[in-house]
Amino acid sequence: MTAIGDVPDPVLSYWPTPPELADDVVFRCLTPGWADGAACGGCPQVRILEPSAGRGDLLVPVRKYLPGAHITAVEPAPQRAAQLRASGLADEVIEATLEDYLETVVWAAMAGTFEPFDLVVANPPFTLPDRPEAWAEHFLAMYEHPYLLAPVAQISAIVPRIVTTGKSKRVKAVRALLDPYFGIDIHDKGTWKDIGAGVSTATIWVEARDCNGRIPTCPHPNCEYEACDRRATSSPASERT
């Protein structure tokens, strides 16, 4: 029997990420130069958000590479949220839009019950009804959120290739955050052909706002992961000679 998550849903921009791409996106944010820092070099305790999770295709490699991570997955379509819940890939599945979820984060943070995320791995809806740049809206809403991200966090996202050329204010705002050499990887044409999506995409990586210029350190005080040894010696760039 075909599960709902096996079928693309263009209205909500549901296109499951192809497995090779999903693996690459996750692996590269865990290797030196990228997550050798922002996601704490593979620290098993990292808190990960998948903000538009579908049935969880991006979470398969997250579980493979970071079996001990705590994963929160947000997905508004009830059937896909149910399929994801049944898969056991995420520690918590929140059936909501990202917009609604981000509001609950504000309230939880103000109540002192929210722990920020170390890593966001996303393949946001590229477009939504009357929202041709839904992907950029989502990206900026997470990047600019006052509580969502830990200081050394990273957002790794699959986005339309127009991120490199788009002239709208939103797309320019996303582009302005990218390191032109290391912040973007353009995908091969045809990456989405088998899924049935006529879209050209890229992966982008962006560090949380107050990470700039600092050696990333592990935010988890009791972490024993060896890559976290730098905690003892790391200091802000301004304090390094």
Interface with ligand SAM (CB under 6 A): 12-17, 51-54, 57-58, 74-77, 80, 97-99, 123, 125, 128
> Please, what is the minimum distance in Å from the beta carbon of residue 6 to ligand SAM?
11
Q: Which is nearer to ligand SAM, 17 or 217 (CB)?
A: 17
Nearer to ligand SAM, 138 or 175 (CB): 138
Residues 6 or more apart from 160 whose CB is under 8 A from it? 126, 135, 199, 200, 201, 202
Strands 47-50 and 117-122: parallel
Residue 41 or 125: the one with the smaller Cβ distance to ligand SAM is 125
- How far is it, in rounded angstroms, from Cα 105 to Cα 230? 30
Q: Give least dist CB 10 to ligand SAM, A.
A: 10
Nearer to ligand SAM, 24 or 229 (CB): 24
Query: What beta strand segments (E) does the chain contain?
Result: 47-50, 70-74, 92-94, 117-122, 149-160, 184-186, 201-207
Nearest distance from C-beta of residue 134 to ligand SAM, angstroms: 7
| Cα distance between residue 99 and residue 27, in whole Å | 27
Please report how close the Cβ of residue 121 comes to ligand SAM at its closest, in angstroms: 8
C-alpha–C-alpha distance, residues 221 and 201, integer Å? 37
Residue 237: count other Cβ atoms within 10 Å of its Cβ.
9
Q: Within its chain, how far is the Cα of 213 from the centroid?
A: 21
Q: How far is the CB of 212 from ligand SAM (least distance, A)?
A: 27
